[in-house]
Amino acid sequence: MDQTTPKGLKGGFSYLKQAMADVTRTPRWFVILLLLALVTCIPIFGAVVMYGFLLRWAREAAWRIDTPMRPRVFDNSDGVLYAFGWRAFGLALLYSLIPGVVAAALMSGQVAEQIASGALAGSAFGGSAAAAVDVTLDLPGQIISLAVEWLVMPVIWVAMMRMALYRDGGAGLQLGKIFQMIRRDAGGLVPAWLFYCVLNTALSFAASAISNWTYTALLNPSAAMLGMSLAMLVATFALQVASTFLMVVTLRAVGRWTAQFEVAQWGPKDAPLPPAGGYGTVQ
């Protein structure tokens, strides 16, 4: 692994490019990707396996070890697949509460406005409050909620990397250390961040459209609509494969980004980060 990668956007694009090359250099990489995507269709367990599989590989990148992805998705010979996976799942769930709280706050504000404007007047006389209030976020609220979700993503990735490197879930909760790492080279994370967030959002819109088409097909159970439903099923899995590819590349890129912090010199999780590339000691 190149130890002279520059900081900032230039370095970030290099990490992303190297991560993509790491994926495509792996023997039978597309088969592994298909299997990962298939596994992620299983609620909770699929996410656990995916996180464990990818963080083990990202951890190797942080140690400057150039290895391909393991050929077996469920390979737990080193005992970290499920340990990493469950801890990462917990961290992702915990940090994802932040945009959830923001969305809830925005939603409650909209409800309060409707109450103040008399929108609930009918419900006091036997009407349905749920029918009187549209609890769907308006466009500005959706944009704010999405922006918060995007901003939290790098925090989640760095938290997962610290957890994997220390093999300790508590290391992923040290917000001070996490923000110190991000501050030291935020620009290096930007390309991977944009790559994942923009494309994943586009995939989400595509998935929503497919869901609507599938619902329409189910309401019209003709032979033509049945064929469309099967086509939509294939399209949905294709989107799942694409989403999995985004996560594979992104976490590998974050692993390469983490290597600049000289993880071989790290002490206990509470110790200061060592200086890396002359960037200065992080206190």
Query: pTM of this prediction?
Result: 0.83
Give the pLDDT confidence score for residue 101 in this predicted structure: 82
Instruction: Check residue 1 and give its pLDDT.
Output: 47
Q: How far apart are CA 92 and CA 8, in angstroms?
A: 26
- The whole-number mean pLDDT for each consecutive block of 10 residues of the chain, a chain of 283 residues, reads 72 96 97 97 96 98 96 96 98 90 71 47 38 52 83 96 97 96 96 95 88 70 64 89 97 97 91 61 33
Which two three-digit tokens encode residue 268? 């206990």
User: Three-state SS string across 38-80, please?
Assistant: HHCCCCCHHHHHHHHHHHHHHHHHHCCCCCCCCCCCCCCCCCC
d(CA 274, CA 173): 19
Contacts of residue 37, Cβ cutoff 8 Å, sequence gap at least 6: 237, 240, 241, 243, 244
Residue reference for tokens 């290096």: 188
Nearest Cα to 1, choosing from 70, 62, 57? 62
The 10s digit of each residue's pLDDT in 222-239 is: 655 666 667 888 889 999
Instruction: Write the pLDDT tens digit of every residue in 35-44.
Output: 999 999 999 9
Q: CA-CA distance, 271 to 283, in Å (whole number)?
A: 9
pLDDT of residue 278: 36
Residue 27 in 3-state DSSP?
A: coil
The string of pLDDT tens digits covering residues 195-230 is: 999 999 999 889 888 877 776 666 666 655 666 667
